[in-house]
Amino acid sequence: MGLIVQKFGGSSVANAERVMNVADIVTSTYKEGNDVVVVVSAQGDTTDDLIAKAEEINPGASKREMDMLLTAGEQISASLLAMAIEKLGYPVVSLLGWQAGFLTSSAYSSARIKTLRPERIRKELDKKHIVVVTGFQGVNRYNDMTTLGRGGSDTSAVAIAAVMRADRCQIFTDVEGVYTADPRKVPGARKLDAITYDEMLELATLGAQVLNNRSVEMAKKYGVELEVISSLTRAKGTIVKEDCKMEKMLISGVAKDDKVARFSIIGVPDRPGLAFKIFSKLGAKNVNVDIILQSIGRNGTKDISFTVAKEHMQTTLDILTPYVEQLGATSLVYDDQVAKVSIVGAGMESHPGVAAQMFEALFESNINIRMISTSEIKISVLIDIADADRAVTAIHSKFFTPDVVGQ
């Protein structure tokens, strides 16, 4: 029939019962006449547990040794799943990332895939084997094990699907697809039948945890059709592809990211080049800046505010604290008790007033907006973290009512 790549996250292989359930899904796909490549993540909280063990031994362990440790999680999942498939009577082989042909950069803990040479995978498929590959990992030019960062198993799966021109890449998770909001927190959240790459990429970047944003970027680049689907219910999932008929939808979803921090540099001299100097220093340390707001100059100065991921907060402080005086600025202030709430949708381009509706929902819930950022298919606001869940619910209710959806 075709080549299907299936990726299973940690919750899908969390225990023996779920591993056997995954084996049943995989073998059912194989019985339909498909070649099947499976990519697995570490079981449940294995990665977090391994990190905790490392902290007990050496809180300052090198990233190289951390990668050596963390790759063990996926190896356990791959071998256990292969054993389960063997038990069901099907031919199978498990491969580590390097055996599957993943060659990466040497940025331990956040490596990038430089090339994928899938000859071994092809040989095993030619033998009619189901191939189980460890996600999240590869090997660099020094033959050291590397990891691709959080969510890297999604990227591994899409890379295989792209290089091998798979008919579909299925991302199995513990939810039934992509929803208009987190269904575990917003009861009225609706599952989408389809969503565009651009919309999915925005949602993934803005805090929706269904897909890793790097994997969506790669899928768009190479035209890999994705399906987000539940490994627990096996209900029809959500297709992520280039074009979707979404004309009747103002927005596709509401996302929340509470792992952000806001910085403000107060009293920056109002002269050319200082913004460049500030953000180039952050960029040199791989700190990504998101929302940026610059005040109108007054008394020869201006204020520059921006957000970064909370994990980069200390790095940002270390970089900018000694630099404020050199800039001639008054002070540096920061706040990590904030959250970014966003709406995403291609329909916003052709429907005026979407921002007003979002702001109205926040006003009606007495939620104050600190910063605003917009693009053609996205509007994000920065608010107090204590208001984040209420904001998502209020915005979702404003847009996803029968009258609005049917516009």
Please give the share of the chain, as a percent, with pLDDT higher than 90.
71
| Nearest Cα to Cα of residue 208 among 252, 172, 243, 246 | 252
Count of beta carbons in the 10 Å neighbourhood of residue 384: 15
Predicted pLDDT at 407: 39
Predicted pLDDT at 348: 77
Does pLDDT of 80 surpass 70?
Answer: yes
Tokens standing for residue 274? 């200082």
- Higher pLDDT pick, 406 / 21: 21
**Binding residue per annotation — 184?**
yes
Count of beta carbons in the 10 Å neighbourhood of residue 354: 19
Average pLDDT over residues 340-356: 84
**Binding residue per annotation — 9?**
yes
Contact 339, 257 (CB under 8 A): yes
Predicted pLDDT at 175: 83
Residues 6 or more apart whose Cβ sits within 8 Å of residue 173:
9, 11, 12, 210, 228, 229, 230, 231
Going by the DSSP 8-state scheme, the letter that residue 194 receives in this structure is E
Confidence at 34, pLDDT banded by 50, 70, 90: very high
**Binding residue per annotation — 174?**
yes
**Binding residue per annotation — 123?**
no
**Binding residue per annotation — 258?**
no
Residues 6 or more apart whose Cβ sits within 8 Å of residue 243:
196
pLDDT, tens only, 213-256: 889 999 999 999 999 999 988 788 999 987 665 445 678 899 99
**Binding residue per annotation — 2?**
no
Going by the DSSP 8-state scheme, the letter that residue 216 receives in this structure is H
Does pLDDT of 276 surpass 70?
Answer: yes
**Binding residue per annotation — 398?**
no
The pTM of the full predicted model, rounded to 2 decimals, is 0.83
Predicted pLDDT at 160: 98
Q: Average pLDDT over the chain, rounded to whole?
A: 91
Helix axes 313-320, 274-284, angle to 10 degrees: 130
**Binding residue per annotation — 147?**
no
pLDDT, tens only, 87-141: 999 999 999 999 999 999 999 999 999 999 999 999 999 999 999 999 999 999 9
Average pLDDT over residues 393-404: 79
